[in-house]
């Protein structure tokens, strides 16, 4: 038995843990900047859909990074991947500072200001893309490292590892609130926060001894790894990747279809496999799962802003509180809970709690009720992501880093392409209904404009037009907008509803096969 089998290097584990904290710092500071009105929405003139697109720009590159690095990480090594992630964080900070300088130039007004906002938006967009690449690279190396370190207890330790995500959200969120006054004067201070954990994990992992991946040590070939994912997996991932790149570079639908077909056919000709049906099913589930967790987390501080303000607190505390629940449950209770319910039972229970929490939050008022229902949502979302990774790692070990990370990549792509903008669209639709019901269609027409996104046309509120209203009408509209934002959480609950149905199907599937049992690879054998 090797040393890494009997005595896992806990310094390596904690370095991976802090790397994940870095991704959380990047996520929560950007979520706050994108959704809080005094920051990027007012500075750059963003509506909710544009904010969703900017948020998504930091999400979809995650998938490209995690999938690409999963294909080559055994060849280039975990250390190179780690260094690449650090460079991405540095470049994001540089571009964000450039955007700040563009909009803060003296004497900007009217068309000149709009042009500056557009230029700055592009800088932030590409900075967010680079940030997403860095975040994806972090997951590309930490997930297989930890799964390899703890071969016989993957779901438990992947849950503990991913306590770093909510832990980072809690710590980063509290620091963001404490720095609120300074950030209101200069939001660049929130960018500086990312450097703290980034430098720490760089120093911890720079000279670390990384383990040999389980797939490699078992003798499973590269082609066998690709076969686990298969042509159908490649079809799903390829379409999402090319669709997103097409949106960025203006490709036609036909171009996207041709590139997807070529990639899928080429993948099949090489590995001669359609993919494991179970893995494909988990890939499909990951799309609403990632939207439920990351899409909602990215928007919830803005959606709950009004009821939390009425209660005397910053809306960001909802995200911090639910993240604290995730951190505690993952870090200290993942093992016993997984042992008690099993991975699939845990996922089904989580879906039920997420449905109830989101629906109740959509109309909650008063601090006590908000946090009661936020508790349900927090309990619900806690185990979704790491337990899904655990199931995939336990059921598809021959896929190595590819299957473990590609499913996360598919989920993240879906959030960037679908989740962020769709949640934003749900928000604008709910706002429209709220404003019209409180005032009139005529009033809504005064403050809205027609826009388009990848799924079609929509109407959105323009924040600048609200200031043209007067007196009671203006106050009523502002209140109605916040009520509508909050109400949209009821629509978001449709995602965990779909997930629950899928988990029940899996439970019955494994029951018919004698129960859920992890698949283990023997060293030197495939």
Res. 179 pLDDT band, cuts 50 70 90: confident
Nearest to 157 by CA among 14, 311, 367, 321: 14
Q: How far is CA 493 from the centre of its chain?
A: 17
Res. 233 pLDDT band, cuts 50 70 90: very high
Take residue 469 and report the two structure tokens written for it.
């209203």
Question: Is residue 220 in a domain?
Answer: yes
Res. 4 pLDDT band, cuts 50 70 90: very low
Whether pLDDT at 356 is above 60: yes
Res. 429 pLDDT band, cuts 50 70 90: very high
Report the C-alpha gap between 368 and 280 in whole angstroms.
41
Of 46 and 273, the one with more pLDDT: 273
Provide the residue range defining the domain that includes 288: 9-207+216-511
| Beta strand extents in 346-494 (DSSP E only) | 448-453, 456-461
pLDDT at 330: 94
Query: CATH number for the domain including 357?
Result: 1.20.1250.20
Nearest to 280 by CA among 521, 512, 506: 506
Report the C-alpha gap between 282 and 287 in whole angstroms.
9
DSSP 8-state code for residue 218: T
Report the C-alpha gap between 373 and 50 in whole angstroms.
28
Report the C-alpha gap between 239 and 246 in whole angstroms.
10
Report the C-alpha gap between 101 and 186 in whole angstroms.
11
pLDDT at 1: 41
Question: Is residue 525 in a domain?
Answer: no
Question: Is residue 61 in a domain?
Answer: yes
Question: Is residue 518 in a domain?
Answer: no
Mean pLDDT of 113-128: 88
Taking the CA atoms of residue 184, residue 187, residue 189 and residue 193 in that order, the dihedral angle to the nearest 10 degrees is: 110
Domain count, the chain: 1
Res. 319 pLDDT band, cuts 50 70 90: confident
Question: Is residue 520 in a domain?
Answer: no
How many other C-beta atoms are found inside a 10 Å radius of the C-beta of residue 475?
Answer: 11
Are 417 and 244 contacting, i.e. CB atoms less than 8 angstroms apart? yes
Question: Is residue 2 in a domain?
Answer: no
Question: Is residue 521 in a domain?
Answer: no
Q: Among the listed ranges 68-72, 278-282, 296-300, 330-334, which one has the minimum average pLDDT value?
A: 296-300
Res. 109 pLDDT band, cuts 50 70 90: confident
Q: What is the pLDDT of residues 444-502, one digit of tens each?
A: 999 999 988 777 888 999 878 888 888 899 999 988 998 898 899 999 999 999 999 99
Whether pLDDT at 115 is above 90: no
Are 391 and 343 contacting, i.e. CB atoms less than 8 angstroms apart? yes
pLDDT at 448: 92
pLDDT at 315: 77
Q: Among the listed ranges 335-339, 365-369, 519-523, which one has the minimum average pLDDT value?
A: 519-523
Res. 51 pLDDT band, cuts 50 70 90: confident
Task: Look over the chain and give the mean of its residue pLDDT values, rounded to a whole number.
Answer: 88
Report the C-alpha gap between 345 and 342 in whole angstroms.
5
Mean pLDDT of 322-349: 93
Count of H-run helices and E-run strands, the chain: 29, 2
- Per-residue burial over 252-280, b if 16 or more Cβ lie within 10 Å, else e, is eeeebeebbeebbeebbeebebbbbeebb
Question: What is the DSSP secondary-structure string of 114-140?
Answer: HHHHHHHHHHHHHHHHHHHHHHHHHHH
Whether pLDDT at 197 is above 50: yes
| Residue whose entry in the numeric block shows the structure tokens 């590309």 | 140
Res. 301 pLDDT band, cuts 50 70 90: low
Question: Is residue 517 in a domain?
Answer: no
Report the C-alpha gap between 277 and 52 in whole angstroms.
32
Are 140 and 70 contacting, i.e. CB atoms less than 8 angstroms apart? yes
Taking the CA atoms of residue 111, residue 117, residue 122 and residue 123 in that order, the dihedral angle to the nearest 10 degrees is: 130
């Amino acid at each position: 038995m090797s040393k890494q089998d009997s005595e896992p290097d806990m310094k390596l584990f904690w370095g991976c843990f802090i790397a994940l904290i870095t991704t959380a710092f990047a996520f929560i500071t950007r979520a706050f900047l994108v959704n809080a009105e005094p920051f990027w929405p007012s500075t750059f003139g963003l509506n909710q859909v544009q904010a969703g697109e900017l948020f998504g720009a930091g999400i979809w590159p995650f998938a490209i990074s995690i999938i690409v690095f999963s294909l080559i990480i055994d060849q280039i090594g975990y250390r190179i991947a780690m260094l690449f992630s650090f460079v991405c964080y540095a470049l994001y900070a540089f571009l964000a500072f450039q955007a700040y300088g563009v909009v803060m130039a003296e004497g900007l007004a009217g068309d000149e200001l709009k042009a500056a906002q557009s230029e700055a938006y592009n800088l932030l967009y590409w900075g967010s893309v680079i940030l997403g690449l860095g975040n994806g690279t972090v997951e590309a190396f930490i997930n297989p490292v930890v799964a390899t370190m703890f071969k016989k207890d993957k779901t438990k330790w992947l849950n503990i590892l991913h306590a770093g995500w909510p832990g980072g959200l809690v710590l980063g969120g509290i620091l963001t609130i404490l720095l609120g006054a300074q950030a209101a004067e200069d939001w660049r201070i929130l960018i500086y926060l990312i450097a703290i954990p980034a430098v720490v994990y760089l120093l911890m992992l720079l000279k670390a001894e990384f383990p040999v991946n389980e797939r490699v040590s078992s003798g499973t070939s590269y082609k066998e790894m690709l076969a686990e994912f298969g042509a159908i997996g490649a079809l799903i991932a390829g379409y999402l990747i090319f669709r997103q790149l097409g949106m960025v570079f203006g490709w036609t639908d036909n171009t996207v279809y041709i590139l997807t077909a070529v990639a899928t056919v080429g993948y099949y000709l090489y590995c001669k496999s359609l993919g494991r049906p179970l893995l494909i099913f988990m890939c499909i589930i990951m799309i609403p799962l990632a939207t439920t967790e990351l899409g909602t987390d990215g928007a919830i501080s803005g959606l709950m802003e009004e009821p939390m303000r009425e209660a005397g607190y910053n809306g960001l505390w909802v995200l911090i509180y639910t993240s604290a629940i995730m951190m505690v449950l993952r870090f200290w209770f993942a093992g016993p809970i997984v042992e008690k319910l099993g991975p699939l039972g845990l996922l089904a229970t989580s879906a039920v709690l997420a449905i109830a929490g989101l629906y109740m939050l959509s109309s909650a008022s008063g601090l006590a009720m908000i946090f009661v229902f936020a508790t349900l949502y927090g309990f619900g979302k806690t185990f979704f992501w790491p337990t899904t990774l655990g199931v995939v790692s336990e059921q598809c070990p021959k896929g190595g880093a590819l299957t473990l990370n590609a499913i996360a990549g598919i989920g993240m792509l879906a959030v960037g392409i679908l989740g962020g903008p769709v949640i934003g669209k749900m928000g604008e639709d709910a706002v429209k209904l709220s404003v019209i019901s409180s005032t009139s269609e005529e009033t809504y027409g005064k403050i809205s404009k027609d826009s388009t996104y990848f799924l079609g046309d929509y109407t959105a509120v323009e924040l600048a037009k609200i200031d043209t209203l007067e007196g009671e009408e203006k106050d009523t509209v502002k209140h109605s907008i916040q009520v509508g934002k909050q109400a949209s959480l009821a629509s978001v609950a449709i995602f965990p509803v779909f997930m629950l149905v899928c988990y029940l199907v899996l439970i019955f599937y494994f029951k018919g096969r004698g129960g859920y049992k992890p698949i283990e690879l023997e060293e030197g054998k495939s």
